[in-house]
Chain A
Amino acid sequence: MKWEYAKSWKALAVVLNQICAVVLVLSVAVCTFFAGSSGFSLFGRDEDFESTAYYQSEVLEQIYRCARAASRESKFEKNGVYDSGLLVDVEEYAQSSTIPEGDISDGRLYYRLTDLLNWSLDGVEIVTLVKLTYDDGSIGYLSKGSRNYTEQSVYEDGSAVASISMMGGEDSYPQEGFAEEFSETDPGQETETVSEEADGETGNTEEAVEDVTVDGETGVPWEDIINGADSETLEELGIFSAGQATVQNVEQIEAVDERYSPVGYESLTAYAEEHNLSTAQLQSLYYDLENIIPVIYNDFYAYKENLELFSPSMTNMRYLVIPKSVTDITPEDYEKKTYTNIMSFGNTEFKDRDGLLAYMEGFQDYLIYDSSNMDFHVSNMPISLSELSSYVKSYPFSVEGDFILAIAVDSAYMASDNLQQYKVQFEKIRPVSRLAVYGAVLGGILYLLTMVYLTMAAGRGPEKEAQIRLNWFDRIRTEAAVLLIAVPAVILLMAVSLLSLGDMGMREFALSGGGLALLFNLLFLSGYLSLVRRMRSRTLWTNSVLYQVVSCIRKTFRNRKATTKTLISYGSFLVLNVLFLCLGAFGLFLAVLFDLGTGVFLIRQAAQRQKILDGIGRISQGDLKAQIPVKNLGGDNLVFAEAVNQMGAGLSMAVEKSIKDERLKSDLITNVSHDIKTPLTSIINYVDLLKREDIQNERAKNYISILEDKALRLKHLTDDLVEASKISSGNVKLEFIRINFQELIYQTNGEFSEKFEDKGLQFVVNMPDEPVVIEADGRRLWRIIENLYNNAAKYAMPNTRVYVDLTTVGHMVRFSIKNISEQPLNIQADELTERFIRGDVARSTEGSGLGLSIAKNLTELQKGRFDIYLDGDLFKVTIIFPEAPAADREPEETAGENSET
């Protein structure tokens, strides 16, 4: 029994796991939030909202924005309200972005704010102004073309992105941009003349300018035309010449098409005339004007926006800018004397500036800056003087003289801004933050522990059986199970993203978040444990739909022919390569990888095939027991190798069996012959004894001699039978030595001389003089020759010659014996040597009939060739042996010993 895997323990673990999951998730959520607001430093401490990192950074950001808003307010408000009649000093605004209270009498260039705003809305056109200086000192201006400024977008911080577009270039001159400006240094009659002339020449001018334009397009500069022209041409061009003065100097100015006039002047050029401005000064004024028009527009609208954004109902930030000159302020007139977003002071009464500042200092967090002495005091705010002054410098206040800037956070948090919202969340979280830390740590540990336990216990029961237990969920297809888990999990995750701590109380958060965590963990746990069980029972892959598909494909693929397989593989190789190459550079990389992989695969296949080839080679060379190691083989190669192994094993078994059968046959014959020999011994002995009896009956004597004859023949037969079977089964041991064939023939002739003489047979021996040496087993070779001689002695026609020839052809030794047969040879040559095997019916009456068979088998055992040639009555046997390599040592040795005797 494995009690630790009992059901009750598992159930307990699951419940514990769920609880831990809920605790963990909630705690982590709280901790994450808390860490986000306080930067981990306040964990578990009972600190104020104002100490959090979030508060600090948010307030810093708000200080910056307040300074900006106050700066704008100081620009556009007079006596506490927006002043539409504000005069904007172009140079001042361009330089410092301030709009100090202007006085038209100081001779500076002023535009009305409303004019500038409208100008911005209408669009600013850039024109080229030609300044003509005459020799009499008078100056004339000629406007040449225009460009359009189009307002594109305005950002909140007031910076504008303006793009200049060339409206038709210099080809299409807008009619109104054509106005010719002319003024005389000497007003009076000449002015009239000019206007008259101008009126009268309008038609001409148009033509002339068009000509000029043509010239301009061909690249001829204005200066050349005007300088080189006589007065008539100038007149044609519409340029006043009046006869008394000629153009001395021509300068170009990039100007703005003046839709709105400066305060007190008809135009900017008029202003320039009056103040006797140089060309450069006029140009810089035009540049300033061109620059400030979109900027002031943005500035203005940012101011309008700020009025709303910084209303007390929208922000908990308070700002206040008091000019240093103002000292007496009461709650009644503060709005006129200061720039502020404070709407009411509640019950606070104050009589002067210090009182108002004291009100600001009454807030928990505040900042007061005195520009006169750079005095800076601050409650608890994370800002330095240098930081603040950099803000003030980038957003200067349009205040005469020095000022005091005060910014405070209204800790009543009446307005619902970021600070207030965050404070609400923070206040909710703070009481549970310490709990959350413990919860996260403890929950995490317990969760991990229960997870480990459940992982170990998954699929295992209290029984000791090794089988993994699967439930219905573990048996459904892997993909379906994944879907069953994943889809609800995704839905839950989406639900989680909808949760927000700000929208609900702690209780609702705990309930909904905890509930979601519970459900999610339930899903996760069941999915995870099922995964563990599947892996443990090895059904994760085999139970998947993908596996079914893959194995189906594999099966069909496997049952294809080899050529089809190769075609499919090669086809998919090509298709994949093409697909990869279609993917571009990354595809090329993939293709290279893929091709490399294919190469490696092919090389491994080839290596495997080489193994198989080696194995086949070994088997075909006779090592039938050789087996191809199939360990690292796969696919077709495995099938291949196993088939070869089986063939080899089969072959080996067959050969072994056949050898065994031959041995058995030979043993059987040997044993049988032993059993025959024993009674045969008695027969021969008693026949011999009978012969010695004094028997008078001649017939009986004859019978006895027949008995003796046949008994001896039987003896001979059994001997030959044993020998033949041994030789044909290869069951003989050969001892090869160097043999002098001639010597053997002499010896044999000696043995057979009388036998041949008895039959009147005559030897005719032809042999080479030099010794003929072969390697053979002497006794077996003698047996061969003896059988052949015996054959001749038995079957040769009496009184004929028997030819024995020994020749050496190449490295082969050829022995042949020829005789004339006494009986007609009505038999096939091979039948003579295979009677033992075939059991041929045509048996001879003499001998065993096995002599030639034994001779042939013995010859072949000694690597020789044995041929029988029959031609009519000519019987010829040829034996061919390879000649032994020359090593003529033996004859010398024996010769040496001979001399001793």
Chain B
Amino acid sequence: MTKKKSTILVCDDDKEIVDAIEIYLSQEGYRILKAYDGLQAVDMLQKEDVQLLLIDIMMPKLDGLRATLKIREKSSIPIIILSAKSEDADKILGLNIGADDYVTKPFNPLELVARVKSQLRRYTKLGTAAGENQKVYQTGGLIINDDLKEVTVDGEHVKLTPIEYNILLLLVKNQGKVFSINQIYESIWNEDAIGADNTVAVHIRHIREKIEINAKDPRYLKVVWGIGYKVEKL
């Protein structure tokens, strides 16, 4: 983990925010470069070896979206957009033009650090995840090794109870498919879901809290309200 410190470029026109982020990420041992507008960020990326970019949208000279577009012409480094714009439309736009993650301000510093770590792991350990001939299921950074009964998120082990594990395995095996509470109950407990209550929902919430960085804004295990649950295919 400490083999080589990754370099992260933080770009925001608000200097205090850049400084705060620097403090948090430095504590994790990353090298921080700072830029205060889009042009500066693009320039720095050309000069320096950067592994991840944190960029604000609303900035002078060149805004974050344009900068991202420009950077994506040459580089495929992880880009996390950091913006006060919290609309769905803004998030979708940002992700569509090439960003890998979208964090809205004001953010929880710990969440931000977690997301940065997640993106870096995926970027640096790409393709090294699965061994051969093993029952391994993967979506994004979530990997389930059914032989070892082991779950890792972005390379980090996650501890799950057997029921939680089975539920997650069911959902990951059928990525993108929505399971209702009754279906999950029947396939895990192998009995009719006559008195089905909130047991399944509670388990799901626990799984979310374990595998997701922000349980309220899950990346993998999503709630389809009024219908059921699913694991997103990434």
Contacts and interface: CB of A to CB of B under 8 A. Distances in A.
A675 B17 CA distance: 14
Interface stretch (B28-36, B45-53, B139-147, B225-233): B225-233
B224 interface: yes
B197 A685 contact: no
Interface string B180-194: 110100110000000
A898 B201 contact: no
A743 B181 contact: yes
Interface string A553-587: 00000000000000000000000000000000000
Contact of B198 (A680, A681, A750, A895): A750
B18 to A, nearest CB: 10
A741 B106 contact: no
Contact of B183 (A688, A748, A754, A895): A895
Q: Which of A673, A685, A748 has the most CB of B within 10 A?
A: A685
A746 B179 contact: no
A681 B197 CA distance: 40
Interface string B1-39: 000000000000010110011011000000000000000
Contacts of B201: 746-751, 753
Interface string A734-748: 000101110110111
Interface of B (DSSP majority class): mixed
Contact of A750 (B17, B170, B204): B204
B227 A890 contact: yes
Interface string A268-307: 0000000000000000000000000000000000000000
A216 B178 CA distance: 137
B197 A749 contact: yes
B106 A681 contact: yes
B186 A743 contact: no
A719 interface: yes
Contacts of A895: 183
Contact of B196 (A677, A746, A779): A746
B114 to A, nearest CB: 14
Given A678-B105, A894-B180, A901-B174, A689 B200 contact: no
A279 B202 CA distance: 156
A851 to B, nearest CB: 16
Contacts, number: 127
A776 interface: yes
Contacts of B199: 750
Q: Which of A763, A778, A895, A898 has the most CB of B within 10 A?
A: A898
A739 B178 CA distance: 13
Contacts of A751: 201, 205, 223
Interface string B78-105: 0000001111000000000000000001
A680 B105 contact: yes
Contacts of B107: 681, 684
Q: Which of A682, A711, A779 has the most CB of B within 10 A?
A: A682
Nearest to B198: A749
Contacts of B105: 677-678, 680-681
A674 interface: yes
A829 interface: no
Contacts of B106: 677, 680-681, 683-685, 711, 715
A754 B84 CA distance: 31
Contacts of B21: 685
A678 B198 CA distance: 39
Nearest to B104: A677
A781 interface: yes
Contacts of B87: 670
A746 B187 contact: no
Contacts of A781: 225-226
Contact of A898 (B108, B186, B202, B203): B186
A751 B187 CA distance: 21
A755 to B, nearest CB: 11
A601 interface: no
B16 A740 contact: no
Contacts of B183: 894-895, 898
A901 B187 contact: yes
Contacts of B204: 750
B58 interface: yes
A897 B173 CA distance: 13
A685 B180 contact: no
A670 B200 CA distance: 38
B177 interface: yes
A694 to B, nearest CB: 14
Q: Which of A682, A741, A747 has the most CB of B within 10 A?
A: A747
Given A678-B14, A681-B105, A897-B177, A747 B225 contact: yes
Given A681-B107, A682-B20, A776 B226 contact: yes
Nearest to B226: A739
A743 B228 contact: yes
A747 B223 contact: yes
A677 B17 CA distance: 11
A715 B106 CA distance: 7
A673 B170 CA distance: 41
Given A680-B106, A682-B17, A901-B174, A891 B226 contact: no
A670 B90 CA distance: 13
Contacts of B173: 901
A64 interface: no
Contacts of B60: none
A102 B204 CA distance: 164
Contacts of B16: 682, 685-686
A686 B15 CA distance: 13
Nearest to A774: B226
Given A680-B106, A746-B201, A739 B180 contact: no
Given A747-B181, A898-B179, A782 B14 contact: no
Contacts of B187: 898, 901
Interface string A652-683: 00000000000000000010011101111111
Q: Which of A678, A683, A748 has the most CB of B within 10 A?
A: A678
Given A739-B225, A739-B227, A740-B227, A894 B178 contact: yes
14 contacts: A674-B58, A677-B106, A681-B84, A684-B107, A684-B108, A689-B20, A689-B24, A740-B226, A743-B180, A746-B196, A750-B203, A754-B205, A778-B225, A778-B227
Closest 6 pairs (CB-CB, A-B): A750-B201, A739-B226, A685-B20, A749-B198, A778-B225, A677-B84
Interface of A: 670, 673-675, 677-686, 688-689, 711, 715, 719, 722, 737, 739-741, 743-744, 746-751, 753-754, 763, 776, 778-779, 781-782, 890-891, 894-895, 897-898, 901
Given A685-B109, A746-B181, A782-B225, 6 more contacts: A685-B21, A754-B202, A779-B225, A782-B223, A895-B183, A897-B174
Interface of B: 14, 16-17, 20-21, 23-24, 58, 84-87, 105-109, 170, 173-174, 177-181, 183, 186-187, 196-205, 223-228
